[in-house]
Structure 1
Amino acid sequence: MTKIELITKEDLEELRLQLLEDLQELLKLKPKEKDQRDWVKSDEVRRMLKISPGSLQNLRIRGLLNPKKIGGSYYYQSKEIENLFK
């Protein structure tokens, strides 16, 4: 035998308000999380700067970016990338 629960308009309104509050909290947190990212992988750097892998390599060779290599992947400091434009 199945139990049937009725949902009222008030229940739906309460759910809607709770979802809106939760979304607002998530939107407030999202930019903070992004700002806290200190290290960025190569593919993200290339997308941010709109450059090719070869151009990114040239920035490394010229010493404009000093990444850390971990397990075959390069990680770049966000601050260093920002300093390229100063």
Structure 2
Amino acid sequence: MSATVLTIEDLEAFKNQLLAEIKSLLASLPTNSKQRWLKSHQVRRLLTISPGTLQHLRITGVIPFTKLGGVIFYDLEDIQKILIERKIGGQSSR
């Protein structure tokens, strides 16, 4: 039985690949007014995150939202902006 060792470079490569896939998904979404507002399940599917992770991002103020009648909506432009602002290795990295 052999063990697999992950290096920091492996993790960096995985992170870059994941960010590229998220960016690709966001770029493939239609930007017309019909798709501006997304529900929680759409955001979770888009970012491939769990309900708990989305709730954490919402509670900590990372992702802004609007709540109407018990339904939470997210602005697609806000999500795209957050991803760009938090991009690592680019000019807009923190």
TM-score, L = length of structure 1:
0.57
* Structure-2 residue corresponding to 1:29: none
Aligned pair count reads: 54
Deviation at 1:72, TM superposition (A): 1.0
CA distance in 1, matches of 2:43, 2:59: 16
Residues 1-86 of structure 1 correspond to what in structure 2 (within 5 A)? 34-36=30-32, 37-86=35-84
CA distance in 2, matches of 1:52, 1:70: 22
Identical pairs, percent = 41
Q: Which runs of 5+ in 2 are unaligned?
A: 1-28, 85-94
CA RMSD across the alignment: 1.6
Find runs of 4+ consecutive structure 1 residues off by over 6 angstroms.
Answer: none
Instruction: Tell me which of the two structures has the higher relative contact order, counting C-alpha pairs closer than 8 angstroms and 6 or more residues apart.
Output: 1
For residues 45-77 of structure 1, give each alpha carbon's deviation from its aligned partner in whole angstroms, at most 9, with x where no partner exists: 000000000000011111111111112110000
3-state DSSP class of the match of 2:53? helix
3-state DSSP class of the match of 1:34? coil
3-state DSSP class of the match of 1:74? strand
Deviation at 1:84, TM superposition (A): 2.5
Q: Which runs of 5+ in 1 are unaligned?
A: 1-32
Select the structure of larger CA radius of gyration. 1
CA distance in 2, matches of 1:53, 1:73: 14
